[in-house]
Amino acid sequence: MCPAGGLPALKAAVDHGADCVYVGFRDETNARAFAGLNFDDASLSEGIAYAHRRGRKVLVALNTFPSTAGFARWTRAVDRAAALGIDAAICADAALLDYAARTHPELRLHLSVQASATNHEAIEWYRERFGVRRAVLPRVLSLAQVEHTIARTGVEIEVFGYGSLCVMVEGRCALSSYVTGESPNCQGVCSPAKAVRWEPHANGMRTRLNGFLIDAFEGDERPGYPTLCKGRFDVGGDTYYALEEPTSLNTLDMLPELMRIGVAAIKIEGRQRSPAYVAQVTRTWRAAIDACARAPAAFVADRRWHADLDALAEGQTQTLGAYSRPWR
């Protein structure tokens, strides 16, 4: 399940082996509502046709939480997606799922990670009421908890396999709204570009978010995008990444276990990333998944795959995140 922030990225994902591509409209109905990203109806129609001709699927993320006053904007997005012939809608809001299930009963519904459904009881609640067919799990569960959930629900389970790692429970983070007044949960953007400032200084760069100093980079250190959770702060006289160090999730080495416990799909994060990123990550994961499917007992991740992903990782570091908790 590969990301696409625009038509070139969608085509790159399809051409390099994605089974499915997930996208969003150019508004706050999706949680990556950055300027210059996403699809209008014409480009999405072209993307769907391109994917379908090659036997691939396109899913639309409608995964933010509507305001009461703006609810009609979200229902129109469901109608647009259904009319364009998408293969599934990825939703988080219960009211929107209810609308989609009643108005478009033929439309396949997936539960977004933004819904923060972290156990089988929650997932079954969405299945029973809205007919949800697949759920995307938040990146806070151990592998044992993922296995426990899969064994107790009839809903397909999708997990994040690679990409930028968020330590917050998706759909519940208020850090961006605390600093900027806008959040990915409702406005579809974490650290909106209009609030970002880059300030050169004597020997490097400072980054600010709505006036708040988030980080300072020295010399040749590459400045990161200023998100509050990944800033370096002075805490008790020590300056460090107080909440989260920039790193990417990479579960290549866990593929045999993910297959064994019945994971239905591996989700690649990165709708804000370039078509070149999408092509490289998709190509690498296609090769790894195919190799593991052929011989899961003998599977060992190729060093070249790790090298390719190392070059794309946030902070040039990678982690298994919450999946690996050997003390449990």
Task: Return per-residue pLDDT of the chain as tens, 328 residues.
Answer: 999 999 999 999 999 999 999 999 999 999 888 888 999 999 999 999 999 999 999 999 999 999 889 999 999 999 999 999 999 999 999 999 999 999 999 999 999 999 999 999 999 999 999 999 999 999 889 999 999 999 999 999 999 999 987 777 777 778 888 888 888 888 878 888 888 999 998 888 999 999 999 999 988 888 878 888 888 988 999 998 888 877 889 999 999 999 999 999 999 999 999 999 999 999 999 999 999 999 999 999 999 999 999 888 876 678 888 887 766 5
User: Do 229 and 261 belong together in one domain?
Assistant: no
Residue 314 and residue 271 share a domain: yes
**107 vs 112: CA distance, rounded Å:** 15
Q: Of 225, 241, 257, which closes a domain?
A: 241
- Where among 194, 216, 241 does a domain terminate? 241
Q: Which two tokens stand for residue 278?
A: 């999408």
Rounded distance, CA 49 to CA 129, Å?
31
Extract long-range pairs of 285-291: CB within 8 Å, 24+ residues apart: 285/2, 285/17, 285/161, 285/162, 285/252, 286/16, 286/17, 286/18, 287/17, 288/252, 288/255, 289/255
Number of domains in the chain: 2
Domain around 205: 184-241
Same domain assignment for residues 112 and 199: no
For residue 282, how many C-alpha atoms fall within 13 Å in the half-sphere facing its CB?
Answer: 27
Rounded distance between C-alpha atoms, residue 325 and residue 328, angstroms: 6
